[in-house]
Chains A and B, each alone.
Chain A
Amino acid sequence: MITVKKLVKRFGLKTVLRGVDFEVQPGEFVALLGPNGAGKTTFLRILSSLSRPSLGEVKVAGFRLPDEAAAVRARLGVVSHLPLLYGDLSAEENLRFYARMYNISNYELRVTEVLEMVGLDTRRRDLVRTFSRGMQQRLAIGRAVLHNPEVMLFDEPYTGLDQDASSMLDEVLKTVAAKGRTVVMTSHDLARAEDLATRFDILSRGVIAASTTRRQLRRSNLLTFYKEALT
Chain B
Amino acid sequence: MKNTTSNPRFLGAVSAIVWKDLQAELRSRELFSAMLVFSLLIILIFNFALELDIKTRQSVTSGVLWATFAFAGTLGLNRSMAIEKDRGCMDGLLLAPVDRSAIYFGKVISNLAFMLIVEIIVLPVYSVLYNVNLFQPGLLMIILLGSIGYVGVGTLLSAMSVQTRTRDILLPILLFPVVVPVLLAAVKASNGFLEGVELSEILFPINLLITYDIIVIALAFMVFDSVVEE
Contact = CB atoms under 8 A, between A and B. Distances in A.
Contacts of A102: 96-97
B89 A84 contact: yes
Interface string A80-123: 10111111110001000110111100000000000000000000
A70 interface: yes
B98 A70 contact: yes
Nearest to B20: A97
Nearest to B9: A103
B229 interface: yes
B88 A83 contact: yes
Contacts of B99: 70
A230 interface: no
Contact of B95 (A71, A73, A86): A73
B95 A89 contact: no
Interface residues of B, number: 28
Contacts, number: 81
Nearest to B93: A101
Given A97-B16, A101-B13, A89 B23 contact: yes
Contacts of B83: 86
Given A45-B230, A52-B230, A86 B89 contact: yes
Interface size class, chain A: 20 to 34
Given A97-B16, A101-B98, A82 B27 contact: no
A89 B24 contact: yes
A209 interface: no
A103 B89 contact: no
A127 B27 CA distance: 10
A88 B96 contact: no
Contacts of B196: none
A76 B87 contact: no
B86 to A, nearest CB: 9
B18 to A, nearest CB: 11
A78 B28 CA distance: 27
A82 B28 CA distance: 21
A144 to B, nearest CB: 9
Interface of A: 45, 48-52, 70-71, 73-74, 76, 78, 80, 82-89, 93, 97-98, 100-103, 127, 143
Interface of B: 9, 12-13, 15-17, 19-20, 23-25, 27-28, 83, 87-89, 91-99, 229-230
25 contacts: A45-B230, A48-B95, A49-B94, A50-B91, A52-B229, A73-B97, A76-B95, A82-B87, A83-B88, A84-B92, A84-B95, A85-B87, A86-B20, A86-B24, A88-B23, A88-B25, A88-B27, A89-B23, A89-B24, A93-B23, A97-B16, A97-B20, A100-B13, A103-B97, A143-B92
